[in-house]
Amino acid sequence: MVRAAALAMIEWPLMKRILRLILGDPKDDDPDAETRPFPDEGGKVVYEIARDRLVAQLSQMDGLDGKLATFLGFGSAMIGILAAFLGLREEATPAAANVFLGFASFFYLLLAGLCLYAYRIRGWDVGPKLGQAWQYSRSYTERQMWWWAAEAYTRFYQRNRSAVQPKVLVGRRAMQLLALESGAIVLALLVVAFD
């Protein structure tokens, strides 16, 4: 019991290892140590894999937000340039060009709505809370801490997956709407050019 209390008070992993060598391992005094859900080995490897997957997932979300911002920016610029071009012409704009401008505007509004919807998908779980890790470090062994953190990262990764799929789908649809808007703009410009 004294060994467990001494090890729980030490927060540095190296000091814990040295005290374990001197005093012995407290799990020798713990009859439940063998029934805990944490295996003896591999916690650090599983932790690193789970953490890397969560980091990659969060990077994917940042990348999707960047792409959506780019799509929205291009869509805004294209519709604005077309409207300015048609408005600055001295001749009357052909009716077909106005129809294609209307389609382009409709696709742009859908694109903007989808992008705003995708930006509202929030609430990512980014990992265990630091305070909780400090609290557990006082009662868990280093091996148990590795497994606890690995399980927490895996759980957060799984939770985030439900929000990742809609955002990816919105990204695909936004790209399609940008292509449709671009097509309508090209057709409007062709009608004006050959009028």
Please tell me the distance from the alpha carbon of residue 145 to that of residue 89, in angstroms, as a whole number: 70
pLDDT at 14 over 60: no
Max mean pLDDT range (67-71, 130-134, 147-151, 154-158): 67-71
Please give the model's pTM, rounded to 2 decimal places. 0.68
Distances in Å between the Cα of 183 and the Cα atoms of 17, 121, 186, 190 are 66, 29, 5, 10
- DSSP letters for 30-63: -TTGGGSSS-SS-HHHHHHHHHHHHHHHHHHHHH
Are 149 and 47 spatial neighbours (Cβ–Cβ below 8 Å)? Answer: yes
- With contact defined as beta carbons under 8 Å apart, do 11 and 27 qualify? no
Q: Is pLDDT at 173 greater than 60 in this prediction?
A: yes
What is the tens place of the pLDDT at every residue in 90-143? Answer: 888 889 999 999 999 999 999 999 999 998 887 778 878 888 888 888 888 888
The CB density around residue 5, as the number of other CB atoms within 10 Å, is: 9
15 pLDDT more than 60: no
End-to-end CA distance of the chain: 92
